[in-house]
Structure 1
């Protein structure tokens, strides 16, 4: 996306933005799928790593870091275990990417039509547009996010046999509301996250583009990727506890004790889950899995923004050529 406020609103037609956003989501998801599975497993693990006594009642695996978790999954479930939940996740990322960038574009265009005296500063405008885009895309695609988490949480025992069967079983035993379990935490997390992300991205991208060595030594608009990495780290760290709460809430229900971690505690809401984690695990418990989350989020954002910018450029050049 362009650094200048005015040009940002006019990049590509709505159809081009939808296609570019969908392609960006598809490519990004495939690249970071293993780290996503590792992150979810670590977020759902509730026993203390520093207290071996807490492991005695644990029947599932005990994960102790990104690399060791990845090795354990491969040993116990095969290489395909790192891509568990990839089908709903790919659908999620494609739909989410298309909705996110379309809503972001529409919101920024709407804000650009405000009278000059009421125009927002670029960073605040980007924050508002990013928050709106993230909130809307998250709410619409949330059932796919829940399914992605539940499939990734499965160990050698298959809780759900297929995507369609999982939807039918959840509706039958938990009602339609079961597909939106934890949605309030997701929206509560994504609104400030996407606001911070796009505000940071639009601020950092032109600054990074001025660093000659970035474009000289790295190919194809690498300032997009570099700005995406920095913006993602800033935003993800700020809202991570809500992301962890969302994962805990997504695996509640009648299948809670059947996932790879058998001792996931029962949670009834965002505040209850936050209080429970603080009481049993302290502040550090709220950031369980942050390292791998940043390892995942940074390259994911870099790949997403780079792919989006390059796909949009190709589509626009093809339109001009025709």
Structure 2
């Protein structure tokens, strides 16, 4: 029994290996999906009633996404699709590392509790709790970078901040340290069920895709895509609330949403209620289609890169140890 436990834990990698593999997965994933992320944020920050005719160039149809992309390219250039990429790379790098490390640590804690209490929890329950804990830790630690990513992506042709250093200075001066954590409750309320569901579904789908024997290790990618689409759809309204809250503050009217974006001052529940009252239930799901399109490559690249990077790190460690023997 001890030998089996050791083998299982070794297969998951050391803390350093998990940290490096998670960071690598987050870094590569972010760069690949940056344009879709900008489109999603711009759609989430559109403010109008879906029961009324649209006043702007973006329609409710999928063509609206193409028009938005064309408008960004025309007025902001190709680099407009990577707005906020510097804080976003830092976000995905640190988030990926923290997430996978916290997930591994939470799993180890639960395994230790099982051994000491003589209990056996269902695998899905363990994955949900570990995923929720990992998501909460990663979201809280990296939230200021998430806020900066949103604010830079929400800048149109008018620059709200001259650069990354200027944004740090201006937010600190005008909003105080709390300004970096606007919308954090919505982020945590979203990430707990999102990551809990994601890891529970991923661990459930992974054996199924392994039995299909897909080429190039793509079973991990398919499992990641499926888990991400289902979990993200369930909590998307809270993501919209988080984005709306993140651009609150003295510069609210200067973002792409303009002066139409109202001030939300009653927290997560009040913001949800205000969006539904003014824009209808569909207002909570602006950008969902782009988000799901983004979820597929993001999760596929993240999980595929993580598994491959972890395998390479373990192989390199094994070769190094063999060299010393």
Among 249, 253, 257, the residue aligned to 1:253 = 249
Q: SS where residue 257 of structure 2 aligns?
A: coil
Indicate conservation of the 8 Å contact 1:209/1:223, yes or no. Answer: yes
Partner of residue 112, structure 1 = 111
Q: TM-score, normalised by structure 2?
A: 0.91
Partner of residue 122, structure 1 = 123
Q: SS where residue 241 of structure 1 aligns?
A: helix
Indicate conservation of the 8 Å contact 2:50/2:282, yes or no. Answer: no
Q: 1:111 to 1:9 in 2, by over 3 A?
A: farther
Question: What is the rounded CA distance, in whole Å, between the counterparts of 2:293 and 2:181 in structure 1?
Answer: 27
Question: Per-residue CA shift, 1:238-263, capped at 9, x if unaligned?
Answer: 00000000000000000000011102
Q: 1:208 to 1:5 in 2, by over 3 A?
A: farther
Partner of residue 87, structure 1 = 86
- Runs ≥4 in structure 1, deviation > 4 angstroms? 4-9
Q: SS where residue 161 of structure 1 aligns?
A: coil
Gaps of 5+ in 2: 321-325
Q: 1:118 to 1:99 in 2, by over 3 A?
A: same
Question: Per-residue CA shift, 1:169-223, capped at 9, x if unaligned?
Answer: 00100110000000000011001100000000000010111113xx2xx32x111
Aligned residues: 309
Partner of residue 100, structure 2 = 101
Question: Per-residue CA shift, 1:78-132, capped at 9, x if unaligned?
Answer: 1100000000000000000000000000110111112353231111000000000
Partner of residue 178, structure 2 = 177
Partner of residue 240, structure 1 = 236
Partner of residue 323, structure 2 = none
Question: Per-residue CA shift, 1:48-71, capped at 9, x if unaligned?
Answer: 46633x52xx7xx64653222211
Question: What is the rounded CA distance, in whole Å, between the counterparts of 2:279 and 2:154 in structure 1?
Answer: 21
Partner of residue 262, structure 2 = 265
Q: TM-score, normalised by structure 1?
A: 0.92
Q: 1:206 to 1:180 in 2, by over 3 A?
A: same
Question: What is the rounded CA distance, in whole Å, between the counterparts of 1:273 and 1:8 in structure 2?
Answer: 45
Partner of residue 230, structure 1 = 226
Partner of residue 305, structure 2 = 307
Deviation, structure 1 residue 272: 1.2
Question: What is the rounded CA distance, in whole Å, between the counterparts of 2:272 and 2:5 in structure 1?
Answer: 38
Indicate conservation of the 8 Å contact 1:5/1:122, yes or no. Answer: no
Question: What is the rounded CA distance, in whole Å, between the counterparts of 1:100 and 1:126 in structure 2?
Answer: 13
Q: 1:7 to 1:229 in 2, by over 3 A?
A: farther
Q: 1:22 to 1:159 in 2, by over 3 A?
A: same
Q: SS where residue 37 of structure 2 aligns?
A: helix
Q: Which has the higher helix share?
A: 2
Question: What is the rounded CA distance, in whole Å, between the counterparts of 1:46 and 1:107 in structure 2?
Answer: 40
Q: SS where residue 42 of structure 1 aligns?
A: helix
Partner of residue 319, structure 1 = 317
